[in-house]
Structure 1
């Protein structure tokens, strides 16, 4: 199962990246995340972890598997029967704006039932994250 959301932001990619990569502050700008606890100090890098608490979902530990500075990062969370991959991608636009693309992909034997049960919530959370990132990044 795969869910996606995106938006265009009236801010350059550097500004949007600074907001996006500061995962501990996500609860300030998206209602889809109520608490973030980093597993390690310092910047988010490949291998880094964060425990996210989200309304209506069990807390989950996410591990960064891919990161291209200023452009994208992907992290993965494992639960019995389902592996969730969350992608965060920034695309600079010619006029100084930025397109953000967010996606959640689930795999494993329980991905179908989990997607069926939680698909609406996951779509809503992706939309909240995209819209919140837009608002926070455009504040300057």
Structure 2
């Protein structure tokens, strides 16, 4: 893939079951196993899903009217079964309010279609989850 399509982060161990993720812009995020306040990898997956969908939907509806409230609540159940550990019953709930008036009505009417388009075509995270992408692993002995 070319540099304009590549997305990457670096992850470095900072302690037992604690890591620091760094993006190409230098922003860091602490990750842990749930025994501290740090985000867990599963929580970050839920953030990625909600964030990608919101970032995709927001510009589409805000052309009609700026939301006065725009919150996404994402939840899932973590299970372990014959397929191993995974999430089931993933649900995103959008709490969105628009101002009264023609623009607000237009944005409110567009919201369901914008969310559907994000989930089915535009949001990279939801599309990747739906398509079941595989990840290659490489081990370097440093």
TM-score interval (norm. to shorter): 0.3 to 0.5
Q: When the two structures are superposed, what TM-score results if normalisation uses the length of structure 2?
A: 0.37
Q: When the two structures are superposed, what TM-score results if normalisation uses the length of structure 1?
A: 0.37
**Greater Rg over alpha carbons, structure:** 2
Higher strand share: 1
Higher helix share: 2
Q: Per chain length, whose mean CA-contact separation is higher, i.e. which structure has more relative contact order (CA < 8 Å, sep 6+)?
A: 1
